Amino acid sequence: MNWSEIDAVLFSLDKIIFIAYFVLLILVMLFQRKVSSFVITLVVLSVANGAMTSLSPMLYQFSSQPGMAYKFTWYASFALIDMLAVFLLYKFHYLLKQSVSFVANLTGMFFVMLATLQTFRFIDRFIFDAEVFQQIYRYGIPSLNIVQVSVVVISLIYEFKLSQRYLKAGSMV
């Protein structure tokens, strides 16, 4: 597999990642049937990724116009969505009186890292004209998204196995 194929795969993942979060949310809601930190995290991930996926084409067209303000819109929009997702993640936990799980904290950290990459890339590209963050941005965003989906899936499997152990232990008593 050459680099152009890897590029194509990495940048076509946005819709797949949104669908993955949405399907995971439905599965968790079918099996858990209650509000939990995991459900809240999946709701925020689904909404944030859905917003980014749906806004990308419009933002791309808008940002392709000449002028720094148009370019700023691209980076700032995604950074803003990421930070809004962090706020909503913790706000929903607070409002629904749920303790924040490890996966929720990790998700918050991923959103902050994504917003930081957006911000650093804009500063690097348009303020300093340095292109230092070009490759980090190019592969960092999709890589973080892939890692995040993997962490969520692994956490879901772990949580499911843990709940199965509790059910077995409870039936033995």
- pLDDT one-digit tens code per residue, 2-11: 556 655 665 5
Question: For the stretch 126-152, what's the b/e string if a residue is b when 16 or more beta carbons lie within 10 angstroms of its beta carbon?
Answer: eeeeeeebeeebeebbbeebeebbeeb
* pLDDT (mean) for 144-153: 92
Give the single-character DSSP code of 124. I
* pLDDT (mean) for 24-39: 88
| CA distances to 31, 56, 87, 103 from 34, in Å | 9, 33, 22, 17
Q: Are 152 and 45 a contacting pair, CB within 8 Å?
A: yes
pTM for this prediction: 0.84
Q: Are 80 and 118 a contacting pair, CB within 8 Å?
A: no
* pLDDT (mean) for 31-42: 90
Q: Are 131 and 124 a contacting pair, CB within 8 Å?
A: yes
* pLDDT (mean) for 14-18: 84
What are the pLDDT digits (tens) for 60-88? 888 888 888 888 898 899 999 999 999 99
- Rounded distance between C-alpha atoms, residue 24 and residue 153, angstroms: 8
Q: How many C-alpha atoms does 87 have within 13 Å on its Cβ side?
A: 7
| Helical H segments across the chain, by residue range | 3-11, 13-32, 37-63, 68-95, 102-122, 134-172
Confidence of residue 167 (pLDDT cuts 50, 70, 90): low
3 state SS for 141-170:
HHHHHHHHHHHHHHHHHHHHHHHHHHHHHH
In single-letter form, the type of residue at position 64 comes to S
- Rounded distance between C-alpha atoms, residue 113 and residue 104, angstroms: 14
Tokens of 162: 């843990």
